[in-house]
């Protein structure tokens, strides 16, 4: 083995010895990233990768964006003291901009350090406001790793306990590929899910606090119901006074191209009551938050602080990142380059015998894999494609209820050339994985 090869093996062994067994890592031989620029990252062994996952969508604009680096460095050189006990110019400015962008009237903003903490806060608000610990969530959902957010996570692969303090009712609506409603049209699917919601509410034990939903399920494999489904849900919720929480941790900031927020594909019934965000806004800094109508945000009857939420350094970086995103119309770029990437992936999929479906919009695209020539989900294929893509210099993600969906979510500044480079590498990786699975590469099963 080379010197860097054995140094890597030693680091991996130490990682395995001291970090928990349940901490998921990608690849049989996990990657140690050392630096990045634009849409590319490099590992400790000098390999370059085109980044089609952005650390689960945390790299929103670009790697090592000079504007963000400058803002963070400037702030770090002045003061690192952090506390919500004092005023912060950039926290106020960032909150004002997010309140205005959120679409929620009379909005208040609270900063957190993660998506989990943002969703916990949203649940704290909704359950306190409604005086009920009963919540509705979508099947196949993922909302975080804390005790309460695990309780609303429907994806059992990410839900290690059933002892959550919340009582959760899971409604259909996130997954159309499989299950009892898979054969329905958009309108029929929407009606079936609304009927399911009404049925659940009929069984609920008194007051229900809120429905929380990802407009496009992230960990769930980039799946979603038809546009307007959540608006149809909201019309039912409004009759009962139930709050709508939109989890925009993956779908926010123009990621889906057509809309700035995922909820805007469902805006016919008006804005949500609570919106949560994280990941991309910090471009890698630990930043999340909650936006809510003032009446809901202010329902807590006791003091609260966050020592690190909205710190000068994360808000300075996030402000620079958001400014860059808006000034360069990266939502428009996500729509245009994402549309082209989608077309390339559709073409690649048509030549593959292991792709069942390409889905998603903007720069949030999922590819569902099956065993060659069948309709059976293949997590083995997804693992093989990830490894084969890495060998070809491409990083992608995976997910889905059965672990058989590829997740593609590059930084929103992706260029056309890079989209084509990535699609070509993915095409090769799919062919290599299919060959590995032992079947001849021929006509698609889509």
Q: Which residues bind ligand PMP (CB under 6 A)?
A: 56, 114-116, 119, 142-144, 214, 218-219, 247, 249-250, 278, 288
- Angle subtended at Cα 105 by Cα 104 and Cα 108, rounded to the nearest 5 degrees: 75
Residue 244 phi/psi, 5-degree rounding, is -110, 115
User: Least distance in Å: CB of 412 to ligand PMP?
Assistant: 17
Task: Give whichever of 44 and 124 is closer to ligand PMP, judged by the CB atom.
Answer: 124
Task: Name the residue number minimizing CB distance to ligand PMP.
Answer: 115
Task: Give whichever of 214 and 368 is closer to ligand PMP, judged by the CB atom.
Answer: 214
CB neighbours of 128 closer than 8 A, spacing ≥ 6? 299, 300
Cβ(222)–Cβ(368) below 8 Å: no
User: Least distance in Å: CB of 9 to ligand PMP?
Assistant: 28
Of 303, 341, 281, the C-alpha closest to 118 is: 281
Counting Cβ atoms within 10 Å, is residue 370 exposed (0-12), middle (13-18) or buried (19+)? buried
Task: Give whichever of 289 and 372 is closer to ligand PMP, judged by the CB atom.
Answer: 289
User: Whole-angstrom Cα distance, residue 359 to residue 30?
Assistant: 27
Task: Give whichever of 75 and 114 is closer to ligand PMP, judged by the CB atom.
Answer: 114
Task: Give whichever of 133 and 149 is closer to ligand PMP, judged by the CB atom.
Answer: 149
Task: Give whichever of 248 and 418 is closer to ligand PMP, judged by the CB atom.
Answer: 248
Task: Give whichever of 146 and 445 is closer to ligand PMP, judged by the CB atom.
Answer: 146
User: Least distance in Å: CB of 310 to ligand PMP?
Assistant: 15
User: Least distance in Å: CB of 219 to ligand PMP?
Assistant: 5
Helices (H), 23-135: 54-57, 66-78, 89-102, 115-130
User: Least distance in Å: CB of 89 to ligand PMP?
Assistant: 25
DSSP 113-147: SSHHHHHHHHHHHHHHHHT--EEEEETT----SSH
Radius of gyration, CA atoms only, the chain: 22
Counting Cβ atoms within 10 Å, is residue 387 exposed (0-12), middle (13-18) or buried (19+)? middle
- Angle subtended at Cα 207 by Cα 202 and Cα 212, rounded to the nearest 5 degrees: 85
Task: Give whichever of 143 and 255 is closer to ligand PMP, judged by the CB atom.
Answer: 143
* 408 C-beta neighbours (distance < 10 Å), count: 26
User: Least distance in Å: CB of 149 to ligand PMP?
Assistant: 7
User: Least distance in Å: CB of 153 to ligand PMP?
Assistant: 9
Determine the length of the chain: 446
User: Least distance in Å: CB of 137 to ligand PMP?
Assistant: 11
User: Whole-angstrom Cα distance, residue 175 to residue 210?
Assistant: 20
Task: Give whichever of 42 and 308 is closer to ligand PMP, judged by the CB atom.
Answer: 308
User: Least distance in Å: CB of 386 to ligand PMP?
Assistant: 17
Task: Give whichever of 142 and 324 is closer to ligand PMP, judged by the CB atom.
Answer: 142
Query: CA-CA distances (angstroms) from residue 398 to 220, 382, 389, 392?
Result: 9, 7, 12, 17
3-state class (DSSP) for residue 366: strand
DSSP 208-263: --EEEE-SSBTTTTSB---TTHHHHHHHHHHHHT-EEEEE-TTTTTTTTSS-SSGG
User: Least distance in Å: CB of 216 to ligand PMP?
Assistant: 9
Cβ(256)–Cβ(216) below 8 Å: yes
Task: Give whichever of 275 and 278 is closer to ligand PMP, judged by the CB atom.
Answer: 278
Cβ(425)–Cβ(346) below 8 Å: no
User: Least distance in Å: CB of 313 to ligand PMP?
Assistant: 17
């Amino acid at each position: 083995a080379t010197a860097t090869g054995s140094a890597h093996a030693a680091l991996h062994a130490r990682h395995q010895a001291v970090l928990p067994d349940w901490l998921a890592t990608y690849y049989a031989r996990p990657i140690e990233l050392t630096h990045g620029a634009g849409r590319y990252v490099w590992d400790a062994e000098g390999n370059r990768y085109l980044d089609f996952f952005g650390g689960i969508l945390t790299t929103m604009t670009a790697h090592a964006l000079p504007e963000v680096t400058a803002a963070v460095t400037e702030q770090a050189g002045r003061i690192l003291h952090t506390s919500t006990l004092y005023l912060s110019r950039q926290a106020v400015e960032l909150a004002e901009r997010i309140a205005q962008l959120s679409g929620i009237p009379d909005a208040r903003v609270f900063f957190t350090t993660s998506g989990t903490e943002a969703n916990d806060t949203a649940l704290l608000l909704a359950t306190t406001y409604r005086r009920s610990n009963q919540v509705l969530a979508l099947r196949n959902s993922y909302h975080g790793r804390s005790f309460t957010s695990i309780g609303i996570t429907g994806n059992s692969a990410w839900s290690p306990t059933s002892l959550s303090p919340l009582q959760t009712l899971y409604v259909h609506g996130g997954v159309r590929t499989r299950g009892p409603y898979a054969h329905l049209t958009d309108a029929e699917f929407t009606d079936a899910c609304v009927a399911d919601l009404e049925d659940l509410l009929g069984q609920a034990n008194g007051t229900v606090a809120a429905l929380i939903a990802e407009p496009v399920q992230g960990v769930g494999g980039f799946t979603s119901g038809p546009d307007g489904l959540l608006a149809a849900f909201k019309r039912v919720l409004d009759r009962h006074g139930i709050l709508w929480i939109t989890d925009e941790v993956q779908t926010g900031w123009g990621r889906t191209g057509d809309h700035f927020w995922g909820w805007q594909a469902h805006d016919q019934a008006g804005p949500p009551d609570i919106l949560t965000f994280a990941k991309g806004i910090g471009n890698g800094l630990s930043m999340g938050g909650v936006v809510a109508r003032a009446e809901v945000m202010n329902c807590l009857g006791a003091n609260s602080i966050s020592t690190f939420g909205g710190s000068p350094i994360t808000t300075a970086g996030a402000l620079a990142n958001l400014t860059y995103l808006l000034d360069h119309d990266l939502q428009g770029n996500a729509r245009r380059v994402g549309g082209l990437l989608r077309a390339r992936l559709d073409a690649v999929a048509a030549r593959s015998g292991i792709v069942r479906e390409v889905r998603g919009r903007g720069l949030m695209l999922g590819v569902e894999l099956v065993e060659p020539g069948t309709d059976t989900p293949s997590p083995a294929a997804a693992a093989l494609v990830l490894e084969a893509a890495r060998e070809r210099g491409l990083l992608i993600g995976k997910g889905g209820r059965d672990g058989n969906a590829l997740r593609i979510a590059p930084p929103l500044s992706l260029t056309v050339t890079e989209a084509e480079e990535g699609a070509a590498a993915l095409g090769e990786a799919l062919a290599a994985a299919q060959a590995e699975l032992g079947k001849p590469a021929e006509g698609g099963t889509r």
